[in-house]
Amino acid sequence: MNDNETESTTRRRLLATVGTAGAASVAGCGFQAPQADDGSDAPAESPTAQVDGLERYPRVRVGSVDELSEGDVESFAYPLDGTENFLTRIPGEAWGGVGPEGGIVGFSGLCTHMGCSVQGQVSPEREVAGPCPCHYTTFDLSMGGLVVSGAATTDLPQIRLDVEDGDVYATGVDGLVYGRRNNLRDGTPVEAATEE
């Protein structure tokens, strides 16, 4: 055996020793992966498992074509409980609008500037939401929530809608709702009629 072989063998033994010690160290550090309640090795569900499991937008009934007259404004939560949105019917046809004249639209009720509610400033006749009571942003309801004027730089998130047998269903959200890192996380999902 020459010097090179001796050095190589020594290094391999040293690495093997370090590896074993490292594994023992991790095992002894007190960290334990969460376990299921039944004591099995299956990982336990996280406290937000219900929300984390919502990987797609649910399909939820939010109104009725016959019960929503032109000029009406109705509130609904979607896709999480407490997430305020409004459903309204404007005179003209809207981008993403549904119903016989394509004038039924849904939007987030939270201004995209700093999150003030614009629910009380919805004006279906003028086809706008606003001016926002905080810094006067106005959004165009016929053009996907486009910012018309004011401090906001992001359009109002629009709720995707669908009509089936006269009922209006929410099926998704275009745009990030103010204050959310993800529209589907950090809350309890509203009860879904059927999943898409």
Residues found near ligand FES in the complex (CB under 6 A):
111, 113-114, 116, 132, 134-137, 150-152
Which residue's CB is nearer to ligand FES, number 104 or number 152?
152
> Which stretches does DSSP call E strand in the chain?
58-64, 73-77, 84-89, 104-108, 122-123, 128-129, 138-140, 146-149, 158-164, 167-174, 194-195
28-40 core/surface letters (b: 16 or more CB in 10 A; e: else): eeeeeeeeeeeee
Which residue's CB is nearer to ligand FES, number 89 or number 113?
113
Which residue's CB is nearer to ligand FES, number 135 or number 180?
135
Enter the DSSP assignment of 109: S
Read off φ and ψ for residue 20, nearest 5 degrees.
-65, -45
Q: How many residues does the chain have?
A: 196
CB of 108 to ligand FES, least distance (A): 12
Which residue's CB is nearer to ligand FES, number 138 or number 161?
138
Which residue's CB is nearer to ligand FES, number 172 or number 175?
175
Q: How many CB atoms lie within 10 A of CB 165?
A: 6
CB of 182 to ligand FES, least distance (A): 21
Compute the distance between CA of residue 23 and CA of residue 21 in angstroms, rounded to an integer.
5
CB of 135 to ligand FES, least distance (A): 3
CB of 79 to ligand FES, least distance (A): 22
CB of 145 to ligand FES, least distance (A): 13
